[in-house]
Structure formats: structure tokens, C-alpha cells
Structure 1
Amino acid sequence: MKVFVTGVNGQLGHDVMNELAKRNYEGVGSDLAPEYAGVKDGSSVTSAPYISLDITDGDAVDKVITEVNPDVIIHCAAWTAVDMAEDDDKVEAVKNVNVNGTQNIANVAKKLDVPMVYISTDYVFDGQGTKPWKPDFKGYKPMNVYGETKLGGEEAVANTLDKYFIVRIAWVFGVNGSNFIKTMLKVGSNHDEVKVVDDQIGTPTYTFDLARLLVDMIESDKYGYYHATNSELAPSRGDYDENGTKTGYISWYDFTKEIYRQANYTTKVTPVTTVEYGLSKAVRPFNSRLDKTKLTENGFKPLPTWPDAVSRYLEILKKQGFFDELNK
């Protein structure tokens, strides 16, 4: 199987390319940079075929992907700078990438009659309440430009193709690039106390685990909308496992507490409300919970639990010398 992957200089695209290589599939990566510009970790993606591609250029997208002639397309590229997307001079650029760029890719997928995987977000919903969002719920109400444009990308895929996977994720972290865990580790290394939002709830997504699921999906024909974050260990916030780890859905505050616990940080973590925290230009969802039961209903293996994902991720950061750099 030959797979064309966009956004390989990002967190997810990096791991998708490596997962394809593990299964002896041919991955062809692309991104905007003239050459692979992700982390130089010696993994398969660093030496895999790479094509520089601006997904907002419809003619270029058609030409490049047609020449590659893949069996499936996994579209990981997106504008993900949520606050910057709110700037008046950025709105059209964000739409061009997330909506028009996705439409360009969907058009060539239709032309070649190949399936497409599109990565979306809980931001397509209004973020209210506490119940997990169902993958087939159509009561969309995005609250910011990023959410609006990601929904536009979903619609481009669903209205153009019959064979597609739309996979929504939240709170993403991976080895290739910046993310919440890396940021909190850096802040916690030189502060005695950090203040973290405690009234936004959800569960995180480790791109290494998600990449495995996405490749499982393209080995099937069980198309449709799915939600995929790392698993909860218990049905509600406030439960603890035998190791004293808080389980179930969590807040960013809970997430930080567990990151610091596993990293052996003594930094004090103080919970605050979204209003007290301030700073954010874009409206953030209070409820990012995503219902993942459709995965098991269709025979897919859910992602491992989020504390387990954090543990494995921190081990990789240690091997890469992340903590050594912090301590310099």
C-alpha cells in the first residue's frame, strides 16, 4: 500500500510516516518546507520520500498527488495556531489552508478514487456541558476561527467523497514539535509555582498512539466519523487508580499534576478558572470530551490510557536529552 501523507513536519504526520514504515507500507511525505524539517531523530520519516507541497495550490496538489498515485491519503497538515487564527489579517490564510487546502486534496482523492483520512477537532462543537461529544452528532457550533475552518474542512471531505475517515482529536502531544507537555515541563523547571486552568475538561491524544489507529483504519473500509483520544481509566473525574493517579476525564490542571508527578517535579500547581487565567485570544471549549465507543463498535483498538501515554512520552523525551537541555 502506498500512502500520501501531508504535514509530516508536524507531530502527527511524523508518527504516521513511521507507523507506515513499521508495517512495510510505502509512505510519501509532504509539507510546505523545501525538505523534511521535523525532528532529526533518525526514525523512518527522516529518510522517507518527501515532496514540498503547498496544499492551497490546487493545480500543484492535483499534479503532485496524481503523479504519486497513492492508494490512500492521510491529511495531517493544518493551520493549528488557534490564537493567531483570530487575527484579522490571518483569517483568510487560515481558511485557505484548513478549508480550501483540504478541498484541493479531497478533489484529487475523488479523481483517483482513493480513501482520505482527515484529522479534525473537538473545536467544531460549542464546548459546553460535560457529556462526551458523539462522533455522528451534527449540532456543530464552533466558537472560534480555527473551529470554523476545521469544520469547513470536514464538510469539504464529506461533501466530496464517499470513502473517508474524519477523525477528531484533542489536546495533542508528540515528539515532533511544541505541545502542552513540553511547555509545562519548561515552565515547571524554573518556577516554584504554575497556575493552570481547571475548568476545561477532556483527555489528551498522543500522536504515536493515534498514528497506529489511523493505519488500522486505512487497512479497513469502515468509513465515517470517529473520535480518538487516549483512553480514560474510570468513568468520571476524581477517581484514582491503585497508583494514586487521577483517572477518567481531566482538566488541564489535572494533566499538569500528572505530568509533574511522573517527571518528579516538585513545582506547585495551582488551579484557576479560564477567566482568572486570561491570556487566550480565541474562545476555548470548556468541554473537550470525545465519545470513543464507535471505535470498539467497529472493531478498532482504542488508544491506551492517557497516564500510560504520558509515561512513554516522557521516556522518549529523556532519551532525546530534553531534560538535560532544561537543566543546562
Structure 2
Amino acid sequence: MKILITGSTGLLGRELVKKFSRHSLLLPSSNELNVTNAAQVYRFCRENKPDIIIHSAAYTNVDACEINPELAFAVNADGSKNIARAAYESGARLIGISSDYVFDGKLNRPYSEYDVPFGPLSVYGQSKLLGEQNIQNSCDNWVIVRVSWLYGEGGKNFVSTMLKAARSGLPEIKVVNDQIGNPTSTVSAAAAIERLLETDFRGIVHATCEGEASWFDFAQEIFRAAGINQKVVPCTTEEYPRPAPRPRNSRLENRVLRELQLPPMLDWRKELSLQMRALI
């Protein structure tokens, strides 16, 4: 297959490149394929005729999105529309990557694919939700894959931040303990996407590691798996203010993966232990 991967140098994009290396890959730079430039996107897809587009390009700095909303919506919302229209025009199957932040986090259970997103708290979440809607309205052969609390090689993420903080010699690290979600490796997310491409499913899928944790729980497990003796102190969201509000509940249920009878995602603790050697 000929697969176009947008955002191929990003955190998830790097893993997707490794996962699909046996295929013919189109890996344009942001200069060669600026998703906010509709004419350039259409031209690139017409000339290269991908069978599949995995759209992982996004403006993912949540706090920066809050400060630069126009850029966030241009990339995450308009960019997704441009990619979706190009996919429709070229007959490509589109896999769009989205986020747990499309939900407001007020539900008292994990969100399933059948829960309708409402009132995302941050500009990032709002722009990603509009991106989802643009994909659904702009092409007919699409899958939206929501991921959560991603970490992996080759980019800034919570694991790399915690390890860097520990190496700096901080006697203790304060970590929020009242936001919960599903820590998920890029390796697991890419594997789920590969399995989805073996089906003809169209719709929304959650692809997160099983089990839940707070950021505090996640940090403790990072240091345990890395063999680092680091004091971690829990704090509240209010004690650690950020420009962008975060949902208290980011848990996603992988209901559709089960309905498709695809292999289950690994427990997040087991997956973190498996990946830690590559992350240290």
C-alpha cells in the first residue's frame, strides 16, 4: 500500500513510520505538505495518489494552543478539513488521530466511542473536536482514532519530562493527583492503528492502554520502572495552575476494539515496563 503519514516527525508519527516501514511511505515535511494550505494538500494527494492517509499532524502543545487559538484551529480543525477533502477527492482511506481532550471530563466513568463529545475545556480540545467533525463531514471513508496521555521515543512527553526532572537532582517532584486517564505508548497506539487497517471499519475508535492512573500514579510508576529513587509529592490541579484547563476525567473505554474482536491493548503498567529501556 502507498501510505501518506502527516506529522511523520512527531511523537506518534515516528512510531507510525517504523510500524508501516514495509509499505511505500509518503513522508512529506511541513514545507512540502502544510496542512493549513488547502491547495497544496489537494495537489500533493492528486500527484501522489495515496491509498491511505494517516493524519497525525497536529498542534499538540496544549498550553500554547490556549495562547495561540488561531494557529490551533488552523492546524487542528482546518488542517483536518483539508486532509479529509483531499482524501475524498483522491479516494484514499483516512485515519485521523484525535484526543481524549475532546471531552469535558465531567463524566464519572470512562468515555466510550458512543458518548458524544460536549464542551471541551481547552482551545486544544475544541480545535481537535472541530477537526473530528470536519473529517466526518468532508469524506466518506474515515476512521477517527482517539488516543490518550501518549508517551514514546523521539519527542517531549510526560515520561521524558519526569526523567529529565529526576536527573536534574530535584529532591522532590510535585505531580497532579486529581486528573485521571490512560497512559498509552506510541508503540501500542501504532499497533492498534495497524490492526484497524486490516478491517473495513469506519467510525470512531478509542485506542488506549488498559487501566487508569492519575498523573501522580503515572510518575511513580515511571520511576519504579526506570529504577530511579525519586520522591514524588501529590498535589491538586489548583496547586499546579496551567494556561489551559485539563479534564479531570480523561479515561477512554476501548469498546469498539472489543466489538471488532481485535486484540486487547496491554495494561498501561505492563506496557510502560516493556518500553522503559528505550525511553531511559
Give your verdict on TM over 0.5: yes
Q: Who is 2:7 aligned against?
A: 7
Q: Who is 2:118 aligned against?
A: 140
Of 72, 82, 88, the residue aligned with 1:110 is 88
1:308: how far off?
A: 2.0
- Is 1:67 the counterpart of 2:47 in the alignment? yes
Question: 1:281 aligns to what SS in structure 2?
Answer: coil
Structure 1 length-normalised TM: 0.82
Question: 2:57 aligns to what SS in structure 1?
Answer: coil
Q: Who is 1:186 aligned against?
A: 164
Question: 2:27 aligns to what SS in structure 1?
Answer: strand
Once the two structures are superposed, residues 87-138 of structure 1 have per-residue CA deviations (whole angstroms, 9 ceiling, x without a partner) of 1xx2111111111111111011111122101111111111113300011211
Conserved? CA contact 1:133–1:291, under 8 Å:
yes
Letter of the 1:25 counterpart? H
* Structure ID, larger Rg: 1
Letter of the 2:12 counterpart? L
Structure 2 length-normalised TM: 0.96
Q: Who is 1:273 aligned against?
A: 236
Conserved? CA contact 1:129–1:286, under 8 Å:
no
- Is 1:288 the counterpart of 2:250 in the alignment? yes
Q: Who is 1:28 aligned against?
A: 26
Letter of the 1:26 counterpart? S
Structure 2: distance between partners of 1:122 and 1:177: 19
Question: Which stretches in structure 1 are left out of the alignment for 5+ residues?
Answer: 35-51, 233-248, 319-328
Of 302-311 and 10-19, more deviation after overlay is shown by: 302-311
- Is 1:77 the counterpart of 2:57 in the alignment? yes
Structure 1: distance between partners of 2:107 and 2:39: 43
Of 21, 35, 59, the residue aligned with 1:55 is 35
Conserved? CA contact 1:31–1:77, under 8 Å:
no
Structure 1: distance between partners of 2:263 and 2:49: 29
Q: Who is 1:212 aligned against?
A: 191
1:264: how far off?
A: 1.5
| Change beyond 3 A, Cα 1:53–1:139 | closer
Conserved? CA contact 2:113–2:255, under 8 Å:
no
Letter of the 1:27 counterpart? L
Q: Who is 1:299 aligned against?
A: 261
Of 76, 86, 102, the residue aligned with 1:124 is 102
Question: 1:288 aligns to what SS in structure 2?
Answer: coil
Structure 2: distance between partners of 1:122 and 1:31: 27
Q: Who is 1:253 aligned against?
A: 216
Conserved? CA contact 1:228–1:302, under 8 Å:
no
Question: 1:271 aligns to what SS in structure 2?
Answer: strand
1:139: how far off?
A: 4.1
Structure 1: distance between partners of 2:41 and 2:224: 45
1:63: how far off?
A: 0.8
Conserved? CA contact 2:152–2:279, under 8 Å:
no
Once the two structures are superposed, residues 199-223 of structure 1 have per-residue CA deviations (whole angstroms, 9 ceiling, x without a partner) of 0001111111111111221222111
| Change beyond 3 A, Cα 1:173–1:139 | closer
Identical positions, percent: 38
1:277: how far off?
A: 1.8
Question: 1:140 aligns to what SS in structure 2?
Answer: coil
Aligned residues: 279
